[in-house]
Amino acid sequence: MNTALISVGSNISKKANIFASIAALNAQFPSISFSPVFETPFVGDGRQENYYNYCAKIITSLPAKKLKKLFRGLERQYGRERAGRKDAPRTLDIDLLAFNGLKDRPQNTTCRGFEKLAYVLVPLSRIEPDFIVPGTGKSVGLLLAKIPAKEKRQIRKVILSAKVEDISVEKRKAESGNAERPHHYALVALSADGFLARHHGHRSDWTSREDKEFLHKMEDQSDAIVLTRSSYENARKWLSERKCIVLTRRVGGIKKESEFLTYINPEKADLNRFFSQSGLREVCNLGGPVAYTILLEKGLLDDLYITIEPIAFGAGLALFSKKMPDLHLQPVSFRKLNKKGTVLLHYKVRKQNKWIE
């Protein structure tokens, strides 16, 4: 069997054409997975309507040549005309990004240079963040981290389902407060003896280059970042163009300096309701201890990524801000990040965890 990665876009009757393309691909390929749909700005000369874009991963017995022929047929079916300007508006555009890696035959692809295109990398990172892009030696996640934050902020997730559900159903769920909450994951870096830092004032830049690369890759896969006010202040410069949800007990009197910032008092707000109505799909928790504790306490943590660095502090800042019973975790993966001994652990958080005061 062959593995193909594709990118699909439209900026003419885009909602109808994107829905139709998902339905057609879903019917054609029994084994296919879709990214969310994103609204992306036009890239090229002049002005055009924004695009809707998504990516998909296909497992198929078809060779690359037949896949491309099938995609061209779908484009024609939905009104695509290839005459005229290369960057003319599109009813439907389907590009073959990669086929079995295509290390030996890059001529089979129809979208070369996509490693520099945010409108491809953002959706592709949702289904294949670790895919090594041929000719670069780098993963999708790392390439996305190199895209300027301002460019990535122009890309907005659309409330459309890759499983071809009726958009009105999702809208009604959101309005009623019964919308599905986003997927929450926490990124944690610990010393070998289990501390986040030497003390509260100790900056978080003590970790290895490989840990920082993983951190930025995972941040770029999120729709929003949750952290405490002190953690935000320490990282304000590189989070200035990211959507951040800052947990603080002192919301009153704070001057909101960016449209991307939301301040919430976790002691007064219903966090479950807030996230369920937010329209977010992926939320990244960067800490500190209070943020990790609160989201665990509220049942708002699904995955835990822990980087352990080969250094011992002897004493320092604990992972959680209060006592708790045993936290039950299900191991998912273990990976060495470098030759110096930095390791990455991935756990699923079991839902039977209960907290004590």
d(CA 109, CA 61): 17
Per DSSP bridges, beta strands 224-228 and 282-287 are parallel
Q: At what angle do helices 118-127 and 209-220 cross, to 10 degrees?
A: 100
pLDDT number for residue 346:
92
Q: Which residue is listed with tokens 């990535």?
A: 152
d(CA 56, CA 126): 10
d(CA 331, CA 347): 5
Q: Which of 303, 301, 88, 275 is nearest to 180 (CA)?
A: 275
pLDDT number for residue 327:
79
Q: Give average pLDDT by consecutive 10-residue segment, the chain, 357 residues.
A: 92 89 89 90 79 93 91 84 66 90 52 81 90 87 85 78 39 45 92 91 83 84 88 79 86 68 90 86 90 90 94 93 81 92 92 48
pLDDT number for residue 280:
81
Query: What are the chain's domains?
Result: 2-157 (3.30.70.560), 180-349 (3.40.430.10)
Concatenating the DSSP letter of every residue in 41-59 gives ---SSS--PPEEEEEEEEE
What does DSSP assign to residue 99?
A: E
pLDDT number for residue 253:
60
Amino acid at 192: A
pLDDT number for residue 257:
66
As a residue count, the chain comes to 357
Amino acid at 259: E
Phi and psi torsions of 183, nearest 5°: -80, 125
